[in-house]
């Protein structure tokens, strides 16, 4: 099988677009684990809620305004929902064993799934793109979907904002300190509960943003939460659970493996990613950029 340069470049752009969605999702997942030590199975539910909320927002606010308004409204709503979950549920079991935290977040997956079924039903939903985002643009002499390039730009912007937040703000330094020595937060006089609420709301904001971003590119349906969360955990494992930059590296690897793997063995494109995740667990259990202890944000 011979692949042209144009085809390979198209797959590269497609893989990069997929990687950015995975990064936005996995960065929230790994942020919660790095600071709060919580493995949040319900993170995919906020992604699904974000996609459905984007459908509602673009339906109520038609046209280009509705599309852009969804990017502001939807992540904010999922962040508020995340804050409610953290304050009224997670906060009550921080001192309990990790198994209870995992069971709680796993149970939330079913709660959110039933809530989506009650509110939006079981029919597939779609979000339309504005006309100027639905077409193609020419890059280096090749045509590419404009929305893919938008997703790549958004993912790059999120990475820059994450770097600035973690390295140039007091909140970021506190989060990094909490990842290294959780007890330090209390010793510095900062309420740990407040920090955890902020972190969880940031993570769910990212989950909702990822859902709103992917909504115009897929058919929105029940079950999209469990599909993405399995891949996100694999991405986090490859890069190093608890490490934001590991999430970026893992997302890039997974995105490219899927995009180019589908050219060779389409039916096993996803399997390549999970096989790599299994190899990393065996050979380097803490991931490519992870450390044994403590974890690093």
Cβ-Cβ contacts under 8 Å for 247 (sequence gap 6 or more): 23, 26, 27, 29, 30, 235, 236, 239
Alpha-carbon gap, residue 154 to 40, rounded angstroms: 24
Cβ-Cβ contacts under 8 Å for 269 (sequence gap 6 or more): 257, 258, 261, 262
Q: What is the pLDDT of residues 270-283, one digit of tens each?
A: 898 999 999 999 99
Q: What is the pLDDT of residue 293?
A: 55
Query: How far is residue 164 from each of residues 36, 89, 178, 214, measured CA to CA in Å?
Result: 21, 30, 17, 25
Q: Give 294 or 242, the one with higher predicted confidence.
A: 242
Q: What is the pLDDT of residue 178?
A: 75
Residue 290 banded pLDDT, cuts 50, 70, 90: confident
Cβ-Cβ contacts under 8 Å for 222 (sequence gap 6 or more): 48, 113, 116, 117, 122
| pLDDT greater than 60 at residue 157 | yes
Query: How far is residue 94 from each of residues 97, 172, 176, measured CA to CA in Å?
Result: 8, 21, 19
Asked if 39 and 33 count as a contact pair (C-beta separation under 8 A), the reply is yes
Residue 182 banded pLDDT, cuts 50, 70, 90: low
Residue 94 banded pLDDT, cuts 50, 70, 90: confident
- Average confidence (pLDDT) over 141-151: 87
Beta bridge partners of 142: 139
Q: What is the pLDDT of residues 63-92, one digit of tens each?
A: 889 999 999 999 999 999 999 999 999 998
Q: What is the pLDDT of residue 60?
A: 94
- Average confidence (pLDDT) over 222-251: 91
Structure token digits, residue 285: 């259990």
Question: Residue 198: which of 21, 36, 23, 26 has the closest Cα?
Answer: 36
- Average confidence (pLDDT) over 210-236: 94
Structure token digits, residue 176: 């990094």
| pLDDT greater than 70 at residue 147 | yes
Provide φ and ψ at 172, rounded to 5°. Answer: -65, -40
Query: How far is residue 256 from each of residues 13, 92, 128, 235, measured CA to CA in Å?
Result: 9, 40, 27, 12
Structure token digits, residue 31: 């942020």
Question: Residue 248: which of 9, 7, 22, 2 has the closest Cα?
Answer: 22
From the CB of residue 113, how many other CB atoms can be counted at a distance below 10 Å? 17
- Average confidence (pLDDT) over 7-18: 89
Mean pLDDT computed over every residue of the chain: 89
| SS3 at position 198 | helix
Beta bridge partners of 75: none
Asked if 19 and 254 count as a contact pair (C-beta separation under 8 A), the reply is yes
Structure token digits, residue 177: 């300190």
Q: Give 7 or 250, the one with higher predicted confidence.
A: 250
Percent pLDDT > 70 in the chain is: 94
Q: What is the pLDDT of residue 64?
A: 87
Q: What is the pLDDT of residue 292?
A: 62
- Average confidence (pLDDT) over 284-293: 80
| Chain CA centroid to CA 55, Å | 19
- The answer to which of 47-56, 123-132, 286-295 has the lowest mean pLDDT is 286-295
Q: What is the pLDDT of residue 48?
A: 97
Helix axes 244-264, 269-283, angle to 10 degrees: 140
How would DSSP label each residue in 93-141? GTTS-HHHHHHHHHHHHHHHHHHHHHHH-SS-B--PPPHHHHSEEEETT
Residue 137 banded pLDDT, cuts 50, 70, 90: confident
Q: What is the pLDDT of residue 233?
A: 93
Alpha-carbon gap, residue 102 to 91, rounded angstroms: 13
Query: How far is residue 100 from each of residues 42, 103, 106, measured CA to CA in Å?
Result: 14, 5, 10
| pLDDT greater than 80 at residue 56 | yes
From the CB of residue 140, how many other CB atoms can be counted at a distance below 10 Å? 9
């Amino acid at each position: 099988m011979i692949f042209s340069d144009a085809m390979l470049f198209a797959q590269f752009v497609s893989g990069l677009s997929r990687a950015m969605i995975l990064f936005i999702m996995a960065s929230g997942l790994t942020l919660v684990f790095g600071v709060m030590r919580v493995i949040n199975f319900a993170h995919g539910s906020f992604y699904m809620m974000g996609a459905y909320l984007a459908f509602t927002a673009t339906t109520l606010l038609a046209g280009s305004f509705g599309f852009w308004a969804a990017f502001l409204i939807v992540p904010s709503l999922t962040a508020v929902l995340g804050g409610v979950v953290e304050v009224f549920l997670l906060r009550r079991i921080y001192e309990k064993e990790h198994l209870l935290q995992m069971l709680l977040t796993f149970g939330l997956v079913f709660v959110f799934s039933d809530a989506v079924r009650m509110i939006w039903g079981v029919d597939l939903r779609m979000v339309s793109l504005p006309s100027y985002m639905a077409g193609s643009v020419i890059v280096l002499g090749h045509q590419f979907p404009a929305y893919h390039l938008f997703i790549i730009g958004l993912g790059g912007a999120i990475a820059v904002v994450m770097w600035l937040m973690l390295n140039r703000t007091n909140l970021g330094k506190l989060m990094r300190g909490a990842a290294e020595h959780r007890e330090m937060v209390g010793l510095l006089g900062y309420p740990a509960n407040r920090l955890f609420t902020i972190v969880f709301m940031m993570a769910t904001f990212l989950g909702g943003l990822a859902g709103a971003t992917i909504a115009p590119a897929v058919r929105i349906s029940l079950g999209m939460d469990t599909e993405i969360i399995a891949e996100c955990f694999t991405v986090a494992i490859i890069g190093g659970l608890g490490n934001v930059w590991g999430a970026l590296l893992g997302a890039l690897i997974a995105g490219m493996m899927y995009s180019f793997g589908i050219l060779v063995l389409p039916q096993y494109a996803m399997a390549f990613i999970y096989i790599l995740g299994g190899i990393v667990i065996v050979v380097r259990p803490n991931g490519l950029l992870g450390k044994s202890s403590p974890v690093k944000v």
